Structure 1
Amino acid sequence: MKDIYQVIDRALLTEKGTRLAEEENKYLFRVNPSANKLEIKEAVEQLFKVKVVSVNTMNRQGKKKRQRTASSGKTADWKRAVVTLAEGNTIDFV
């Protein structure tokens, strides 16, 4: 198993993530692209001392970027995890 600090990159604080946290007790994290659902579940449980019910993941494609010149590139691909917590558990990011 990977180190828990290598599995979870950071929490995603977005409008959608805030709504999910308030209404459905789900939290968004940016995770290592090679991490699987079991590793993500164990990392969240150890870091935040909560009970995780389920983990959904999605691979997000990087966006194309272009400079003012002819050169162009792309941002890195990344992976997002939606973690559902058990009833009564919450994560406070403040």
Structure 2
Amino acid sequence: MFNDRLLRVLYFPHMSEKSSSVMEKCNVVVFSVKKTSTKSEIKNAVNSLFSVDVCNVRTLIVKGKVKKRGKNISKCSNWKKAYVTLASGHSIDFTTKIKKNVY
């Protein structure tokens, strides 16, 4: 598995009311991931990027909504979501700020 592929698998953590409650209760983190990624790629990406042990990965494809405005009909694109279960004692903290060098 190439490192550049692992860096492109995860897009961002999906923050919602449901994902934050699941994170607190079951030690599960929710990510928005690339549609073509597999469970093993997601597991390896989380292991290497955040240095945590992953027990289980569940994925689902969220269907895009249809929007109507008068005669115009448009559809948002589908996207993939991954529920990553972490081993007990491991956690990922997204509240700390990452300092970037801006030139």
TM range (shorter): over 0.9
TM-score, length basis structure 2: 0.85
Give the 4+ runs in structure 1 shifted more than 2 A: none
After superposition, give the CA deviation of every residue in 1:30-76 in whole Å (9 maximum; x if it has no partner). Answer: 10010000000001111111000000001111000123x31111001
The residue that corresponds to 1:19 in the other structure is: 21
Q: Work out which of the two has the higher radius of gyration on C-alpha atoms and give 1 or 2.
A: 2
Structure 2 counterparts to residues 23-42 of structure 1, below 5 A? 23-42=25-44
The residue that corresponds to 1:9 in the other structure is: 11
Do residues 89 (structure 1) and 96 (structure 2) align? no
- Count of matched residue positions in the alignment of Structure 1 and Structure 2: 93
TM-score, length basis structure 1: 0.93
Q: 2:52 aligns with which of 42, 50, 72?
A: 50
SS of the residue 1:76 aligns to: coil
Identity %, equivalent residues: 38
Q: CA deviation at 1:25?
A: 0.2
Which amino acid counterpart does residue 60 of structure 1 have in structure 2? Answer: V
SS of the residue 1:90 aligns to: coil
Structure 2 residues without counterparts, runs of 5 or longer = 96-103
SS of the residue 1:3 aligns to: helix
